[in-house]
Amino acid sequence: MPELPEVETTVRGLNRALNSLSARFIDVWADWKKTIKKPRNFKSFKAGIKKKKIEKIWRRGKNIIFELSDNYSLLIHQKLTGHLLYGYWVRRGNNWQPSGNDILADRVNNYIHLLFFLDNGKMIALSDLRKFANVELWKTEELLASSGFNNLGPEILEKSFTFEKFKEALSKKKGKIKEVLMNQSVIVGVGNIYSDEALWRAQVNPFKKIPDLTNRELEKIYDSLRDVLQKSIELHGESFSDYRDTNGEKGGFDKIRMVYRRKGEKCQCCGTIIKRKKIGSRSCHFCPACQKI
């Protein structure tokens, strides 16, 4: 699933592509209308989105928000395998084929189930193999007041989110550190990938419980999280699986991935074999020597 760096990369890519142009949605196509969660009726969604001008694109947690004219907002959560692409596609038979960009022809970019047509002649496409993505059209004030939006935790990369605030947020929880880091009501944007990577860098065992962490360990987790997320943004995210940026290109974080999906390989710090274990309904990867309980 795209996490904070991948979503931030997508938002920055869209903003660069549109380059402050006052682009408007002029039409929308979908062959998997269940992606549209609000309103449920596709015709109503289509009518609501047409002629709306894109005024701002930003990120909140793993959500992409298009602020539109007439006080509307389009919210997209890419979920497990979704990613947004920017370009031009031509309909050939039952498929949409990219025009003028060979990278968009990559297999993972060809699961097009939703297309937004813009008045600048380009399109924003959602490629989503598993078809789990959510797309919602809201009145902006209703979105900002919604429980789902307001229950999101703080942004770990915000300058105002200091170590003291991080420590306070975690102090309210008693569970295992990896599970708490992935709890979107505690902090947003962190999932399986970056919790594994940050905890390895901090040399903290993912099964260690919050009350058992020392102040120094908490500092190391805070610093490692910020460092690994920022580095991944610089590298345009992680593309081990399905994620691609808005141009259809892979991110570069895979090259510096230390433990995530490296079960059975040697730890690059000490040479111990990386282990994979279940933690709740998820999995974690860690070095049993560097990250002792």
Asked if the structure places residue 155 within a domain, the reply is: no
**pTM score, whole prediction:** 0.96
Give bridge partners of residue 82 from the DSSP assignment.
128
* Amino acid code (one letter) for 108: V
State whether 127 and 32 are in the same domain.
Answer: yes
Contacts of 292 (CB under 8 A, 6+ apart): 205
* Count: domains in the chain: 2
CA distance 159 to 211: 26
pLDDT higher at 94 or 52: 52
For the segment 227-251, the average pLDDT, to the nearest whole number, is 97
**Whether 145 and 167 share a structural domain:** no
Query: What CATH number is given to the structural domain containing 237?
Result: 1.10.8.50
* Residue 50: active-site member: no
Among 132, 151, 124, 134, CA closest to 248: 124
Contact 246, 86 (CB under 8 A): yes
Q: State whether 119 and 204 are in the same domain.
A: no
Instruction: Tell whether 158 is covered by a domain.
Output: no
Cα gap 11→247, rounded to integer Å: 12
Say if 291 falls within a structural domain. Answer: no
On whether both 9 and 144 belong to a single domain, the answer is: yes
Residue 210 is part of which domain span? 163-286
Same domain, 104 and 242: no
CA torsion sign for 21, 119, 135, 192 is: negative
Share of the chain above pLDDT 90, in %: 94
- Which residue, 150, 178, 202, sits at the end of a domain? 150
Residue among 291, 269, 263, 279 nearest 205 (CA): 291
Mean pLDDT of all residues belonging to the chain: 97
Task: Please determine, for residue 116, whether its predicted confidence score (pLDDT) is greater than 80.
Answer: yes
Domain identity same for 32 and 131: yes
Does residue 136 have an active-site annotation? no
Same domain? For 139 and 19 the reply is yes
Residue 202's φ and ψ, nearest 5 degrees, are -85, -10
Q: Write down the catalytic residue from 46, 59, 62, 244.
A: 62
Worst-scoring range by mean pLDDT, 59-68, 93-102, 191-200? 93-102
Active-site entry in 34, 60, 208, 282:
282
Looking at the fold, whether 185 and 133 belong to one and the same domain comes out as no
Confidence of residue 20 (pLDDT cuts 50, 70, 90): low
- Is 250 a known active-site residue? no
**What is the reported pLDDT for 79?**
97
Last residue of a domain, one of 127, 150, 173: 150
What integer pLDDT is reported at residue 80 of this predicted model?
95
Q: Fill in the amino acid letter for 62.
A: K
Residue recorded with tokens 């907002």:
73
Alpha helices in 114-254 (DSSP H): 140-145, 147-150, 163-171, 177-181, 192-202, 215-234
CB 281 within 8 A of CB 256: no
Residues 77 and 196 in one domain: no
Q: What is the average per-residue pLDDT within 146-163?
A: 97
pLDDT band at 101 (very low <50, low <70, confident <90, very high): confident
Residue 292 in any domain: the answer is: no
Q: Of 3, 136, 197, 238, which is the active-site residue?
A: 3
CATH number at residue 86: 3.20.190.10
In a domain, 293, yes or no: no
The pLDDT value given to residue 22: 80
Q: Please indicate, yes or no, whether residues 22 and 146 belong to a single structural domain of this protein.
A: yes
Asked if residue 118 belongs to a domain, the reply is: yes
Q: Are residues 124 and 20 in the same domain?
A: yes
Is 282 known to be catalytic? yes
| pLDDT surpasses 90 at 100 | no
Please state, in angstroms and as integers, the Cα–Cα distance from residue 55 to each residue in 20, 21, 72, 175, following that order.
Answer: 8, 9, 10, 41
